[in-house]
A and B are shown apart, each in its own frame.
Chain A
């Protein structure tokens, strides 16, 4: 409980930002918080946020781990396109759902291992190593779909993954939520999270002190590939087709931004998956708010940029220390005590 509270306190700036954005949305569109049951599923703008935010949330989970090792994965958008194409092509060839999902996840895992090999074995800088697949990935996806939007309108089981509902909640939300709990449990209930942070702080030092840096790097890039594969399946199932040109386009940047808004440093080290997920939800809330607002589309990106800029400025170390400075005189002892701890 105490641990939970301290985690909550650490995420306070992100939660506050999310709250403010949601309140702004409610001011723009009065029915924003209204959620009702319709056709056996929850329906409302809030549900749209957690549903539409699924791809970026999933990518952010993998991206957080990669960034914690001081790396970056630019290929996730392209991996989404590849895995979406693989899923569509397998299901249209008549493979059952389980085989389709299994095959697609395997392809995502392979893409992640490829990145991992370039980074861990060949010591290529992550931004360059993953750029290779980012550039080539869409071409590979186009080869799989043969340049068309590969549709599967008659495969209800795969479509269910993207637009079905379980217990009234949209499937994409359930998938990213379960995935998040799974990953947090794996990295925080074991020493894995700590070891990943150690690599991010100083890979050489952690290798010398006995951390299996190579295999851990492989593992985080593979996880990122796997998360991208799940996001790719959801994106394809959502529109009942694989669009090699546009699936996951620029989402790698959204995912990196979600991680940063979530309070994680691109320099690696300490990380918080929950923070990244809140970051992803902040971004999706901004998107949904813009769509509901009815502003002309020319303003979309400007509004988004300004809001993100404000969030990042508030979170920046300089304004943090300014904040601390302003509050310094009030509780000097408590502050010092916390700093020591």
Chain B
């Protein structure tokens, strides 16, 4: 019995020492949705890298696509007394009460890559990309690339009704508005997948005179573009030259296609949402500087001029 008390005492003492050591380092809890896509896995690994770089003690919780798991994770972060919480919300609603608990405990919450329906004072800031802007960057590239030439575009939309599909379409249309030489002749959903991207592109090519009427393909994500590139090749055309290919996301495989001259441009949806979030938290906790309610990440355009093979090697290790 006595040895047990002794053991417990030592443990408490050790705990005190440990916590005093890490007192100057920030402890951040990160409630991630899960790992439903390659991008999500990359976001998780980049977040861990960014935390390590800054000497932040990151507590990671995978919610496996369930909101109740995320709420549980946030409550346990509050109980552990973390300095801040990162939350990638799986749905938009139902966060009010748990965020109030965090607010009462004086723990700032930063949203990653998605917005929520909750009063703005319940979270510090949201770090997300601007999907409309992503579409616009892709459109601007095409406008610049074709110049005054006539160009018929076929569009592979994301899942019908999903917000990236709606916004990326809108952004692209904004960019080509006023350029009458560029027309979207066909637009159909490819559900963000390679299989559907390939199947829909096959039918686009057949419907548009064996692909001769098509000058460019705009795909709402790279996976559909990768599928479509195969369809173009199988129809005996050259992707990248006969039909230009521009898409969004910047997953590793599109860089391989770019290196082979089969894709022309991609707009990055950066997996580094945590970097700007940590910067904002640092400024807030040290200097009490309130960040803006929305921090927009960079939507960088990549073309074959950006050493695609090098980017491919860099990205491949991130778990895409």
A146 to B253, CA, bound (A): 16
Complex contacts, A177 vs chain B, CB 8 Å: none
Q: Nearest Cβ distance between residue A82 and chain B, in whole angstroms?
A: 16
B26 within 8 A of A: no
The reply to whether the CB of B249 lies closer than 8 angstroms to some CB of chain A is no
Q: Which of B157-181 contact A (CB under 8 A)?
A: 157, 160-161
A20 touches B (CB below 8 Å): no
Whether B195 lies near A238 (C-beta < 8 A) is yes
Q: How far, in angstroms, from A89 to B172 measured CA to CA in the complex?
A: 37
Q: Assuming the A-B contacts A239-B227, A297-B187, are A29 and B194 also in contact, with contact meaning beta carbons closer than 8 angstroms in the complex? A: no
Q: How far does the alpha carbon of A300 sit from the alpha carbon of B198 in the complex, in Å? A: 17
- A215-246 residues at the B interface, CB under 8 angstroms: 235, 238-241, 243, 245-246
Nearest CB on A from B115, distance (A):
24
The docked-state distance in angstroms from the alpha carbon of A297 to that of B192 is: 13
Contact of A72 with B by CB under 8 A: no
Q: How many residues of A contact B (CB 8 A)?
A: 35
Distance between Cα atoms of A44 and B210 in the complex (Å): 9
Once the chains bind, are B194 and A243 in contact (CB under 8 Å)?
yes
- The number of inter-chain residue pairs (CB within 8 angstroms) is 80
Contacts of A288 in B (CB 8 A): 203
CB distance from A175 to the nearest CB of B (A): 17
Rounded to whole angstroms, the CA-CA distance of A340 and B219 in the bound complex is 60
Q: Note all chain A residues with C-beta closer than 8 A to B200.
A: 291
Complex contact A246–B202 (CB within 8 A): no
The answer to whether A45 and B235 touch across the interface, beta carbons within 8 angstroms, is no
Known: A43-B235, A147-B319. A246 touches B203 (CB 8 A): no
* A291, B198: Cα distance in complex, Å: 12
Q: Say whether, besides A153-B256, A241-B194, A297 and B188 are in contact (CB < 8 Å).
A: yes
Tell whether, in the assembled complex, residue B160 and residue A300 are in contact, meaning their CB atoms are under 8 Å apart: yes
How far is B190's CA from A239's CA once the two chains are assembled, in angstroms? 14
Residues of A near any B CB (own CB < 8 A): 29, 31, 38-39, 43-45, 48, 52, 142, 146-149, 151, 153, 163, 235, 238-241, 243, 245-247, 287-288, 291-292, 294, 296-298, 300
- 13 A-B residue pairs with CB within 8 Å: A29-B206, A45-B203, A48-B199, A52-B199, A52-B202, A147-B41, A148-B41, A246-B193, A246-B195, A291-B188, A291-B204, A297-B187, A297-B188
